[in-house]
Structure 1
Amino acid sequence: MVARESICLRRLAGGRRGGIVGFSRFLANPRVTVEALVEGWGAEIAEACAGRHVLAIQDTSEINFATTKERDRGLGEIGKGVGRGVLLHAMLGLDAETGGILGLASGKVWTRNGRVSTPHKKRPLSEKETERWLTTPQAAKAVLHRAALVTEISDREIDIYEKWAHLPQPGFHILTRANVDRSVKEGGGNLSTAPLQPAGAAVIELRARPGRPARTAQLVARFGRVTLKRPSHLANQGAALAKTIEVSLVEVSEVDAPADAEPILWRLLTTHAVEDAAMAWRVVGWYRQRWTIEQFFRTLKQQGLQLEDSQLESAERLIKLTAIAARAACTIMQLVQARDGQSAQQAEIVFSPAEIKTLHALLPEVEGKTVLQKNPHPPNSLAWAGWIIAKLGGWDGYPKSKPHGPITFRHGLEYFRSIAYGWRLRDV
């Protein structure tokens, strides 16, 4: 999938019928479970996280597969009930210092099986899809146990009290954007009226997103400690949920926003101690890394593997395919990141030992005579391998040239796989 940037079984098999049949049998094999595939995500990051501060970012995406009334493929409803497909919940691990992608830590892939008649508020958390926001980080704790520090990051959807009550532990922190103006003990009784200290101003570049073009924004921040009150609808939980939880609040607001734009207002809640302005802006920087998981979903769908175009006939196989494609999308993003040499990952996470030998053999062929045309990265690093692949894909190699992106990597990988196959046959 990484080499061909596709999930089409015909393309993956190079048009060979035996390969197509083999892939199909793999996905149909009952011993190949989605649980095992998802568990396998963590193998890489378990090693890479050692001694680092890891930002563990989680989010959910809907994979909308084309269906008709006669051909629903066994898929359940997604969105507002119009489409049918699979839901992918993933936790992506980043190095907090560099933003380098370390790998996928945990997650879940499923399709809905009909509708639940019991009202949402009358069901326990264990019977709601919301539970994934707690079970995923709980599973990730074992995978990331070698990390020096972990900060789980999520957006407004999962600002639920149970998460604040159950997830934090020494070395495992939470950073979430508040969904509502929560009740607190301080000030006038809400987050919006809590007494906070000023943290100064900063100018940031906002990335484009649906309904909002990219723009430069001037932000001001405030910070302080607040005490969250347990919501009234959870009062029957008794001792299982603490009546109050103390957290830090960092409020970020935009000044002089364009007349046609909605001003930025983030109320970021975290279990980290925020005692000065520098730490407040550090928390803002960590939260802004959340965009990486949105890029991950785009790489999986429209901008990369085009997972939603799959024509597999059953939900069971589509769920497994999604789990495999998620890992491939993560690798593609690591290759793109490696082009600047900041990820510090090793080539072995993407390439086999035989392929790394091929890369060494190719290096003299793609390097130029001048210093500017030499591979500047440490041998056997992912950045070193990515530089060679980019050269094979048509990049000129000069530092001042436009950075190579996914399309260049795809072309380079396709060319490289052909060379590597021939290199394996050299002694036959």
Structure 2
Amino acid sequence: MVAGKTVCLRRLSRGDRALEVRFNRFLGHDKVTAERIIESWSEGTVAAIEGRHVLAIQDTSEIHFNTTPQRRRGLGEIGKGNNHGLLLHPLLAVDAADGACLGLLSGQIWTRKGRRTTSHDDRELSDKESQRWISTAVAAKPLLTKASAVTVLGDRESDIFALYASSAEQHFHVIARSMHDRKLADRSGLYEASDAMAAVDRRAVQLPARAARPARLARLELRFGTIELARPQSKFLHHLPKSLPLAVVDVREINAEADVEPLHWRLLTSHDVAGIEDAWRIVQWYKQRWIIEQFFRVLKTQGLKLEDSQIGTADRLLKLVAIAAKAAVITIQLLQARGGGSQPLRVAFDDGEIGALAALNKQLEAKSKRLKNPHPPDSLAWAAWIIGRLGGWDGYPSSKPPGPITFKNGLEYFRAVAAGWSLRDMCMP
């Protein structure tokens, strides 16, 4: 999938009907489940996180598949009920220091089984989809034992009191963007309290491009302080603490252009925020959330085009999504590694592939005595340099770095070479 930049089984098979049939049999096998594929996501990631402060970034994306009333493929409603598809909620490990994508850790993929008749307020948290924010983080916790620190990070949907309480129990930190004007322990409002905080600093911050918003330099004003967040009144939350001490970091854009919606983040965090630099650090960490949005774009419109899949049943689509998620992460890792970085080689390649890479690197370096792979041979950047060269990049530092198409071409070539390399020691009778 990474090399072919597609999830279409027919295109991946390159006209080999027998191979296409094997792909379909794999997806249809009872012992192949989405849950077991998700368990394999963390292979390579666990080693990469050792000694790092990990931002455990999670989000939910709707995967829309075209259906008709006669062919729903077993898919439930998404959006406002006018589309059908699956929901993907991954947790992505990112290095807090440099934004390097370390890999997937845990997640959930599901399709809805019809509309709920019981109102949202009359259901236990365990019976709500929002439970995924807590259960996904808890599932990742045993995989993060070698990290120096863990911060679970999410957008407005993750503004859940039970998640803040869970972070204290599970001994990880949390950063979430506020969705609700929550009550504080003194019965005042969160937004009233943050608005009353004094503005203490201003900085220009580069905002990455997102859907319907180009990249821009935003001038932000900073406020921060401590709060005591009150437990919501729901009868299902009485087992949680009556209040939780948190910090709030409020950044709002000033002097925005007339046609631009000003940015305003109220970030709630369990981290201690003792000064201005601590507060800006929280903002910087929250900015790394864009990586998971890039992950979804690679998975869908700008990469693997997952939503174009014509596989006929929801069960097989769930498995396909789980496999494609791993392919999307490897794509991002290779793109990030173009200019260097500290990501380990084994995040994306196994022993056999590493052997093939070493042979190719020796060959590529021999073609030009002045052109050497500048990266350590145990780094993903070393592999990215080789793959880029195979795809047509000239390798010179003064040249534009290889892009997605160059990597696609290089990976296609490498896949064929690696297949041959795996047969090098076979003894023919």
TM-score of the two chains, using structure 1 as the length reference: 0.94
CA contact (8 A) 1:199 1:280 kept: no
Hey, what's the Cα distance between the residues in 2 that align with 1:43 and 1:29?
Answer: 22
Other-structure match for 2:156: 156
CA contact (8 A) 1:247 1:270 kept: yes
* Distance verdict in 2 for CA 1:169–1:414, change over 3 Å: same
Unaligned runs of 5+ in 1: none
Hey, what's the Cα distance between the residues in 1 that align with 2:329 and 2:308?
Answer: 19
- Tell me which of 341, 348, 351 is aligned to 1:350: 348
CA contact (8 A) 2:125 2:236 kept: no
Which residue identity lines up with residue 230 of structure 2 in the other structure? K
Secondary structure of the residue that 1:422 maps to in structure 2?
helix
Which residue identity lines up with residue 255 of structure 2 in the other structure? D
Which residue identity lines up with residue 231 of structure 2 in the other structure? R
Counterparts of 1:202-351 in structure 2, within 5 Å, are 202-232=203-233, 234-235=234-235, 237-238=237-238, 240-346=239-345, 348-351=346-349
Secondary structure of the residue that 1:222 maps to in structure 2?
strand
Hey, what's the Cα distance between the residues in 2 that align with 1:187 and 1:399?
Answer: 59
Measured after TM superposition, the shift of residue 29 of structure 1 is 0.8
Hey, what's the Cα distance between the residues in 1 that align with 2:235 and 2:347?
Answer: 48
Measured after TM superposition, the shift of residue 187 of structure 1 is 9.7
Secondary structure of the residue that 1:408 maps to in structure 2?
helix
Secondary structure of the residue that 2:41 maps to in structure 1?
helix
CA contact (8 A) 2:48 2:347 kept: no
Other-structure match for 2:97: 97
Deviating more after overlay: 416-425 vs 176-185:
416-425
Secondary structure of the residue that 1:218 maps to in structure 2?
strand
Counterparts of 1:3-402 in structure 2, within 5 Å, are 3-169=3-169, 171-185=171-185, 189-194=189-194, 195-196=196-197, 198-232=199-233, 234-235=234-235, 237-238=237-238, 240-346=239-345, 348-367=346-365, 369=368, 371=370, 373-402=371-400
Secondary structure of the residue that 1:88 maps to in structure 2?
strand
Measured after TM superposition, the shift of residue 198 of structure 1 is 4.1
Measured after TM superposition, the shift of residue 214 of structure 1 is 2.4
Secondary structure of the residue that 2:374 maps to in structure 1?
coil
Secondary structure of the residue that 1:57 maps to in structure 2?
strand
CA contact (8 A) 2:100 2:336 kept: yes
TM-score of the two chains, using structure 2 as the length reference: 0.94
Secondary structure of the residue that 1:167 maps to in structure 2?
helix
Measured after TM superposition, the shift of residue 235 of structure 1 is 5.0
Hey, what's the Cα distance between the residues in 2 that align with 1:58 and 1:102?
Answer: 14
Post-superposition Cα deviations, 1:207-266, rounded to whole Å, max 9, x if no partner, equal 22233232211111111101111223x25643x021111100101011111111111111
Measured after TM superposition, the shift of residue 170 of structure 1 is 6.6
* Distance verdict in 2 for CA 1:163–1:35, change over 3 Å: same
Measured after TM superposition, the shift of residue 147 of structure 1 is 1.0
CA contact (8 A) 1:204 1:219 kept: yes
Hey, what's the Cα distance between the residues in 1 that align with 2:362 and 2:301?
Answer: 36
Secondary structure of the residue that 1:92 maps to in structure 2?
strand
* Distance verdict in 2 for CA 1:111–1:236, change over 3 Å: closer
Secondary structure of the residue that 2:42 maps to in structure 1?
helix
Hey, what's the Cα distance between the residues in 2 that align with 1:246 and 1:286?
Answer: 20
Deviating more after overlay: 121-130 vs 181-190:
181-190
CA contact (8 A) 1:73 1:313 kept: yes
Which residue identity lines up with residue 161 of structure 2 in the other structure? Y
Hey, what's the Cα distance between the residues in 2 that align with 1:199 and 1:56?
Answer: 29
Hey, what's the Cα distance between the residues in 2 that align with 1:170 and 1:309?
Answer: 39
Secondary structure of the residue that 2:6 maps to in structure 1?
coil
